Structure 1
Amino acid sequence: MKPKMLLALAAVAAAVAGSAFAASPVYKGDPAKGKVIVDQVCAACHGVDGNSAGSNYPSLAGQHQKYIHDQLQAFKGGVRKNPVMMGMAAPLSDDDMWNVSAYFSSQKIKPREANDKTQMVLGKQVYRVGNPVTRVPACMACHGPAGSGIPDKFPRLSSQHAAYVLTQLNNFKVGTDRKNPVMSDIASRMSDAEMKAVAEYISGLR
């Protein structure tokens, strides 16, 4: 695919994504019941309000409800291979997953700053433009200019830990834990420098 065509497609996708941000589907789930499970099981790693303190664990506050629910199902079903999360998800019923996801999605995101500001120029370029030479599309084409994602389609990335984002990109690249054909293909085309830079840029998105 020619670079100019790739950029044009990315621009169209970004425009479509932007029009979808306001449409957030409503799913079943009781946040109050979800909080009980979070306090007992999830808070130690992900924080009582979904804003994790440790960069090894993703912040889940404000993440799309169905995305969280689907990831819990993937852990329980062994589609995702993280041993810790497989154990945590194993006893959860589908209703439990909807309740937990309803709670986390209703929590307010705490803004984060990039730790390494020297990465911002390259990170911004990859996120907003991509790399036409290696056919890496702009991240914002799916995840939005501000990292808000699209419910049912693409997860929210804004204010996520840079270290966690980098780990996930590497997992996509080598095929461990995460098995998403689209993201695996994109990550396989990214250099280590591009992955590190875009992870830092994402962590400071609002």
Structure 2
Amino acid sequence: MKKRIVVLGIALVAALASGISVAETPDQAQVCVACHGEGGKSTNPLWPNLAGQNAGYLARQITAFREGERKNPAMAPFVAPLTDADIAILASYFSSQPLAISATGDASEIETGKYLAGYCSACHGYAGKPATNEWPILAGQHAAYLRQQLLAYKSGERIHPLMQAAISKLGEKEFSALAAYYSQLQP
């Protein structure tokens, strides 16, 4: 696994150095548009915006889908044939797009979400943008998607020890408020 991460990291650096412009959509990204929208701006609130997301995080998640570490039957056929170089190109392309701000959460929950964001800020930053490239940007993400992912961590469908610890005392009501708050942030 460590060798694959090193190879992926080298491929990602090469893709970033290639200077893919915002206007150029690489061939590898053409199929992604059906669900994640032009330039990674999803129109379905249950599917994540990829535009402006951290490249390291995107590469790690696409690899996790390809390797079966992260399960999603809809994603499986699209990620199975991807090489490490393809993943690096996708991560570089989508991270170079302007960040999409969805503001899809319930406005009446934003203040509560802002208060609860203390649970998240150590890793995801005060403005929903983490200090490390390996963690996701929460700012501007679809509220329904964020809520869905928090529920997946809570149920054990997705596993990350830091996430499980951070949300252990929270439930669906708090997840909705956090999602509303982060969906409207602009980092």
**TM, length-normalised to structure 1:** 0.77
Task: Tell me the SS of whatever aligns to 1:28.
Answer: helix
Q: Which residue of 2 aligns with 1:49?
A: 39
Question: After superposition, where does 1:57-96 map in structure 2 within 5 Å?
Answer: 57-96=47-86
Please state how far the C-alpha of 1:88 moved relative to its aligned partner.
1.4
Q: Which has the larger radius of gyration?
A: 1
- Count of residues paired in the alignment: 170
Decide which moves more: 154-163 or 141-150: 141-150
1:114–1:201 CA contact under 8 A, matched in 2: no
Relative distance call for 1:189 and 1:28 in structure 2 (3 A) is: farther
- Cα distance, 1:84 vs structure 2: 1.5
The answer (yes or no) to whether the contact 1:147–1:202 under 8 Å persists in 2 is: yes
1:126 and 2:112 matched: no
Q: CA RMSD in A?
A: 1.7
Q: Could you report, residue by residue, the CA deviation over 1:25-71 in whole angstroms, capped at 9, with x for unpaired residues?
A: x72215368621212x1000111211111011100111111111111
| Gap change, CA 1:180 and 1:120, over 3 Å in 2 | same
Contact residue 65 and residue 101 of structure 1 kept, 8 A: yes
Measure, in 1, the Cα distance between the counterparts of 2:105 and 2:177: 11
Matched residue SS, 1:53: coil
- 2:164 maps to which residue? 184
- Paired AA for residue 186 in structure 1: A
Show structure 2 runs of 5+ residues with no match.
1-11
Equivalent residue for 1:202? 182
Q: CA deviation at 1:112?
A: 2.7
Partner AA of 1:53 in structure 2: T
**182-191 or 55-64, larger mean C-alpha shift:** 182-191
Structure 1 unpaired stretches of 5+: 1-25, 130-137
Percent identity for Structure 1 against Structure 2: 38
